[in-house]
Structure 1
Amino acid sequence: MAFLNDGQIMRIDKIIDRLNIQNDLNFPETSIIEAAKSLGISLKIAKFKEDDIAGVLDYGEENKNPIIFVSELDSEKKRNFTIAHEIGHLLLHPNNGVRLKVDRHNFQNLTTKDITEEEADYFAAALLTPAHKVKEIRFKSRMYEWDLINFCSDYFNVSKSVIANRLKWINP
């Protein structure tokens, strides 16, 4: 669950709105792969030496021609989230002279999670699962919570944990 304040959430939501309008993105109809390509980001599926690596963002030389690497060990749903998460870092967090950003599967201490990771997580979930669509599905379907999570996970092609957190964030 994100520990972001309303101002951070509003700032990220505005960036996503602008991104969607400028690039004619409409999730889930637009795949995250198409979105990355429209932003000039190259994608690679990689075998990392360490199994706990989810993704790597190469900001590129002088912030040009960025590349996102995702783990071949992860499911498509997890890779989709990782790609969106890394796009979040690219748009929200300038590289500050660092060329590579490595993200790991690390859920051990969520209370001290870096704020940049929280923002990138929120960005990814909000980009891939637009609030108005989640609310519409919830309202029209009248499904029980677990059925709603399962349905939305398949519909948006993200993990169940992403949907469970998203439902808490948007609180329709």
Structure 2
Amino acid sequence: MSNINMSKEHIENARMLIRQFHNILPVKVGSIASKLGVKVKISTLPTGISGEIKKEDNTYIIKVNRHDVKERQRFTIAHEIGHFILHKEMIGDGIVDDALYRSKLSDRLEAEANKFAAEILMPWDLIKSKIEEFRDLKNEELYEALSKEFEVSTTAIKIRLGKL
């Protein structure tokens, strides 16, 4: 089997594992990391740095900036899980993401990690279900209600819904 097929298999296996956590909101992103064998540490990071993933002693560790709000921390963890699953071979000495989720990696790879993070935290089937549940809410009220349910920012919800 080629490396590309193994990589696709690896990604699909990770997605299947993640789907196991899509039955309760908010999605337990820390538990997903743990199940993947990745440790999460809430840390003091330099201003403007939201998170990083590094390999230390054969263990991958995600560090999340303790000064960021909870919703931001959750997205950062999911984003770094995205790097772990999609770009593991590129982590090397570590990937450090700033507040706009930019790193030394290309914009394309950062966008892939962001999209994967959105899939982890805001799965479409749960979004559709919640939109139906909140059918009386419109626009900002709907985005606020969804952001509370999913414990993500309203900006993350709007991006996921294609409103930004």
Taking structure 2 as the reference length, the TM-score comes to 0.80
Select which of 40, 63, 85 maps to 1:43: 40
Select which of 120, 128, 136 maps to 1:135: 128
Select which of 33, 46, 69 maps to 1:75: 69
Query: Greater relative contact order (Cα 8 A, min sep 6): structure 1 or 2?
Result: 1
Q: Does 1:18 align with 2:16?
A: yes
SS in 2 for 1:67: strand
CA distance in 2, matches of 1:96, 1:119: 13
Q: Give the deviation of 1:59 after TM superposition.
A: 3.1
* Matched residues, number: 149
Kept in 2: contact 1:57–1:67 (CA 8 A): yes
CA distance in 1, matches of 2:118, 2:55: 21
The amino acid of 1:42's aligned partner reads: K
The amino acid of 2:122's aligned partner reads: T
The amino acid of 1:20's aligned partner reads: I
Aligned Cα root-mean-square deviation (Å): 2.5
Structure 1: 5+ residue runs without aligned partners?
1-10
Q: Give the deviation of 1:40 after TM superposition.
A: 1.1
Q: Deviations over 1:4-50 (max 9, x none)?
A: xxxxxxx9x956642325xx3225254111111111111111112x2
Kept in 2: contact 1:77–1:159 (CA 8 A): yes
Show structure 1 runs of 4+ deviating over 6 A.
none
Q: Deviations over 1:112-163 (max 9, x none)?
A: x710110111111111011011112213322202111101111011111110
- Show the counterpart of 1:6: none
Kept in 2: contact 1:16–1:127 (CA 8 A): no
Taking structure 1 as the reference length, the TM-score comes to 0.77
Q: Give the deviation of 1:99 after TM superposition.
A: 1.7
Q: Does 1:99 align with 2:93?
A: yes
The amino acid of 1:119's aligned partner reads: E
Kept in 1: contact 2:78–2:120 (CA 8 A): yes
Q: Does 1:57 align with 2:27?
A: no
